[in-house]
Chain A
């Protein structure tokens, strides 16, 4: 609770600064009347909201409320599910990324994703990071070495693994594996980072490290994070969207959502009365 208050105080100062900034801050994603279907089942229902550049947006809500489905549509991972289709639009910069003519491979390079369960490749730590780089013609040991070090440093993993880059990624702990997955996504220099419950499969210590990392990454990236952990959402995010049954019930500054929600359901969910 103490922690929450501290954070609230901190962000209070921030919002006053932000007021002036607000007009200048760019929107990086604009979601317009988006609906996503799995077959005949509508998982996301006519949602609309905007995401600012270099902000952290938390998506909260009970399981099955559509927040992961939404997240997976932003880098078109839903394309892998043949029965899924969508209506509406997600405008990224000035392009609807749900359009048929979008090159999803190039899109995924710009909008990276980290999954709930750490999923390193059965390769060395080094090759986990260089895996996708090589597909984009990035070659040469020196250049790759530099990117590997930079990405691992950004993901706060460098000091733990710098002496064993040739070892299998499977030898790492769960928390380290997840940071490796973040590092390999960062190596692609994405503009947006989608995190699908990145810390839920981890122990509290690893969880705290990931959180710290997310906060750190905010400087350079726009982050959208799905989380079931209320404290986490309140600690790390600038904006919070509360999803319920495929709709966004409330979307506001995180501070407002957690201290003074305007909808009864949001308050009930945050205080743990349902969900």
Chain B
């Protein structure tokens, strides 16, 4: 302390980098971390874009045919590359599993936050955390062992048990914890004054939930569903084990089907690098990236609409 008083104001107060080397070092360190992430994201996107576009630019495939034709015959003498069944397959399992997991997850979140917080905290919370921790291969394995025979024996329309429906159910269970967790956060972050305000007017608990709490939390609840959909859309392994992986457009829920991710994982080992077949897989990867990007845009849009 004494030493400082002998220094002039200029020496004490003018900025200089030598005075505080730790400050600069820390700044460089965290900037580097940020830079690495940015470079990684950009380079993956760029690489995927270059590889994904090659089938159209180098191999001369028609992008419209790729997107909208349902004929996928890469091995025939006149190879056809129509990825529509896989794009639709991906979208179908995603939407259908969101239809199942959305209401279930939100209902579960309402139970945890509004009906029984003690059971919610003591029982449901750990169960949901456990569900998140189970690897997707285990989900697929259980689906394969339990669900596939069950579907085969229950529905006469399904010869094998491998079907769009089986994939949807497995995915629903997988994304349920995601949806529930985010929906629970959304519900519990609602101010208590909102609940009290409605109850004090003589509204019942259910009326309060339905007419005040759910509408107030709606943007966040939608975010929960879209995040679950993003996860379902990108899942490959568990779906691949139960969906049947055929290249035809499914006619019903009980028909086997395929998704973009399952076709990529199934075929990447059998195609040579740089071949048309291989390049079309990259194109599918690019489509996955673009649709995931759309999901993120939707989430951002919904978050911006949050009112409270």
CA distance A87 to B193 in the complex (A): 26
Contact across chains for B197 and A119 when beta carbons are under 8 A apart: yes
A122-B216, A122-B308 known; A77 vs B200 contact (CB < 8 Å): yes
In the assembled complex, the CB of B211 is this many whole angstroms from the nearest CB of chain A, namely 6
Contact across chains for B215 and A122 when beta carbons are under 8 A apart: yes
Contact across chains for A122 and B307 when beta carbons are under 8 A apart: yes
- Provide the residues of chain A in CB contact with B207, threshold 8 Å: 135
A132 at the interface (CB under 8 A from B): yes
B203 at the interface (CB under 8 A from A): yes
B202 at the interface (CB under 8 A from A): yes
**Interface hits, A245-272 → B, CB 8 Å:** none
- Among B197, B215, B216, the most chain A Cβ lie within 10 Å of the Cβ of B197
**Interface hits, A85-120 → B, CB 8 Å:** 105-110, 112-115, 117, 119-120
CA distance A114 to B196 in the complex (A): 10
- Provide the residues of chain A in CB contact with B201, threshold 8 Å: 108-109, 112, 131-132, 184-185, 188
Chain B's closest residue to A75 (CB) is B200
- Among B194, B195, B200, B211, the most chain A Cβ lie within 10 Å of the Cβ of B200
Chain A's closest residue to B213 (CB) is A121
A115-B193, A122-B308, A123-B215 known; A135 vs B203 contact (CB < 8 Å): yes
In the assembled complex, the CB of B122 is this many whole angstroms from the nearest CB of chain A, namely 14
- Provide the residues of chain B in CB contact with A123, threshold 8 Å: 215
CA distance A168 to B305 in the complex (A): 14
**Interface hits, B202-235 → A, CB 8 Å:** 202-204, 207, 211-212, 215-216
In the assembled complex, the CB of B234 is this many whole angstroms from the nearest CB of chain A, namely 33
A131-B211, A135-B207, A170-B307 known; A121 vs B216 contact (CB < 8 Å): yes
B199 at the interface (CB under 8 A from A): yes
B22 at the interface (CB under 8 A from A): no
| Cβ contacts A to B, 12 pairs, < 8 Å | A110-B202, A114-B200, A119-B191, A119-B196, A119-B197, A121-B212, A122-B194, A122-B307, A132-B198, A135-B203, A181-B197, A185-B201
Residues of A within 8 A of B (CB): 75, 77, 80, 105-110, 112-115, 117, 119-123, 131-132, 135-136, 168, 170, 181, 184-185, 188
Residues of B within 8 A of A (CB): 191, 193-204, 207, 211-212, 215-216, 307-308
Known: A77-B199, A135-B204, A168-B307. 6 other contacts (CB 8 A): A112-B200, A115-B196, A119-B193, A132-B198, A135-B203, A188-B202
